[in-house]
């Protein structure tokens, strides 16, 4: 496969951007090799600058549930852009998107648009602290909520309850306000709530983890967090940046029937344009300026082009049968992948919820960060490159989700399955 133009672009990029990328995972560091520079995309397919074609399962990390360059989305964005790119003033489009979001997420009385998932989670935590007057936050090992300082925190050493920075540049004083519990491990939450409950502002969780690979909530886990938040008076925040509009029209909270106090959204609600959002109970969102004293602002928040794209996506997702068709496609694909792995003598475990899934290399189960850490990353790296060589683009890390879109045709699925047969054989028996 000729990748010479990607290679020369990558060396150019590294002269002017850290690591040659605008987001670390794109640099292929955990799988090796040269990132493919993409020239264009449509439906489920992307083409790199060397003309190589791939069936895409990254789908921009989740936003493109309708596929690449969906005519409804691009048409809406184009027409909005022709009327002006940004006004820094209210528009009807942002009202319409906020109405669509709050209709689908009944827990969201009020919603504020921002420009990324990071902004959404950072703001939601600030508002939870403003509402409660408290400072501690519980997050979960293996969950990613973007790169706000207080969330770049990992479990301290054994027995230490306070978090420690998970990135250079995060002062330990910030990290100490964040407590880290085990995903799907309510027993790890109890002592933190007991010790810090009086100062606990928020519990933030990915209701379906997508950033340690896909890890669904164990039965009772989300319900346990709901009662823990009620018992301590903490604000329960569901980070649905991935799962919102992905696993159900009303996200994971609809799927599992557990209602958070605040929800963060992103990805799908922008249709590939930069959009995040946070919202929830009116009494909590009443703290947000200009209503209340929790400051949060943004030049391009509610950008009219991004809002128009988001409205187009959510209106398309309202069509009857969309989620049933997504479920059927993803079920068919993952079942066939499992057969392909077995045929090649490769042991894999697939975690799937709706149209998001991860194929782990190993016997599993994979229900928390520790178990995920035991999966065979090297085998995934071989699989990743073999899939790429056979025309399928996967996430360049196994701690991510693969996404099926409404644009993936039967032909696309067949192409993925055929490539996987070769790729599993290339991995070798594990
Ligand atoms: P952004 O700031 O990247 O828009 O959103 C941060 C974020 C928040 N919450 C969840 C559950 C998320 O998954 C994300 C971002 N997701 C990653 C991939 N899993 C984005 C890809 C990247 O970092 O390049």
Residues of the chain with CATH 3.90.1150.10: 4-69+320-429
Residues of the chain with CATH 3.40.640.10: 71-317
CATH of domain 4-69+320-429: 3.90.1150.10
Query: What is the pTM for the complete model shown?
Result: 0.98
| Arithmetic mean of pLDDT, 389-397 | 97
Confirm or reject: Cβ of 116 under 6 Å from ligand 1: yes
Confirm or reject: Cβ of 250 under 6 Å from ligand 1: no
pLDDT band at 158 (very low <50, low <70, confident <90, very high): low
Confirm or reject: Cβ of 144 under 6 Å from ligand 1: yes
SS3 184: coil
**Separation CA 150–CA 139 (nearest Å):** 10
pLDDT in tens, 329-358: 999 999 999 999 999 999 999 999 999 999
Angle formed by the axes of helices 71-82 and 304-317, to 10°? 150
Nearest to 269 by CA among 399, 390, 115, 162: 115
Mutation test of ligand 1: which of 211, 247, 271, 401 has the most ligand atoms closer than 8 Å to its C-beta? 211
Confirm or reject: Cβ of 117 under 6 Å from ligand 1: yes
CATH of domain 71-317: 3.40.640.10
pLDDT in tens, 188-212: 999 999 999 899 999 999 999 999 9
pLDDT in tens, 236-295: 999 999 999 999 999 999 999 999 999 999 999 999 999 999 999 999 999 999 999 999
Q: Tell me, what DSSP letter sits at residue 248? A: B
């Amino acid at each position: 496969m000729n990748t010479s133009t990607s290679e020369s672009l990558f060396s150019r990029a590294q002269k002017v951007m850290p690591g040659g990328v605008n987001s670390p995972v794109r640099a292929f560091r955990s799988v090796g090799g040269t990132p493919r520079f993409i020239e264009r995309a449509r439906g489920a397919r992307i083409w790199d600058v060397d003309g190589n074609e791939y069936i895409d399962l990254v789908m921009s990390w989740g936003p493109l549930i309708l596929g690449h360059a969906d005519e409804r989305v691009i048409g809406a964005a184009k027409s909005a852009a022709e009327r002006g790119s940004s006004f820094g003033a209210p528009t009807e489009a942002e009202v319409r998107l906020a109405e669509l979001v709050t209709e689908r997420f009944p827990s969201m009385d009020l919603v504020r648009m921002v420009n990324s998932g990071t902004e959404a989670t950072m703001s939601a935590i600030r508002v939870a602290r403003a509402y409660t007057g408290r400072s501690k936050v519980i997050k979960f090992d293996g969950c990613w909520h973007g790169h706000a300082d207080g969330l770049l925190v990992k479990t301290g050493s054994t027995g230490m309850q306070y978090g420690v920075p998970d990135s250079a540049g995060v002062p330990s004083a910030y990290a100490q306000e964040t407590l880290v519990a085990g995903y799907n491990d309510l027993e790890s939450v109890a002592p933190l709530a007991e010790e810090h409950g009086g100062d606990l502002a928020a519990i933030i969780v990915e209701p379906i983890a997508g950033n340690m690979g896909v890890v669904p909530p164990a039965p009772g886990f989300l319900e346990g967090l709901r009662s823990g938040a009620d018992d301590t008076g903490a604000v329960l925040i569901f980070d649905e940046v991935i799962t919102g509009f992905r696993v159900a029209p009303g996200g994971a909270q609809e799927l599992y029937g557990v209602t958070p106090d605040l929800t963060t959204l992103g990805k799908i609600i922008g249709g590939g344009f930069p959009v995040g959002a946070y919202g929830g109970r009116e009494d909590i969102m009443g703290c947000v300026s200009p209503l209340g004293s929790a400051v949060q602002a943004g030049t391009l928040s509610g950008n009219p082009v991004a809002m128009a794209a988001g409205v187009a996506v959510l209106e398309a997702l309202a069509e009857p049968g969309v989620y049933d068709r997504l479920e059927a496609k993803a079920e068919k694909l993952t079942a066939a992948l499992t057969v392909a792995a077995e045929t090649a003598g490769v042991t894999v475990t697939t975690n799937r919820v709706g149209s998001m899934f991860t194929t782990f290399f190993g016997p599993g189960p994979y229900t928390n960060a520790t178990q995920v850490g035991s999966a065979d990353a090297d085998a995934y790296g071989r699989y990743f490159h073999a899939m790429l060589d056979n025309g399928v683009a996967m996430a360049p890390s196994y701690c991510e989700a693969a996404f099926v879109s409404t644009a993936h045709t039967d032909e696309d699925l067949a192409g993925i399955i055929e490539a996987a047969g070769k790729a599993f054989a290339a991995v070798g028996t594990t």
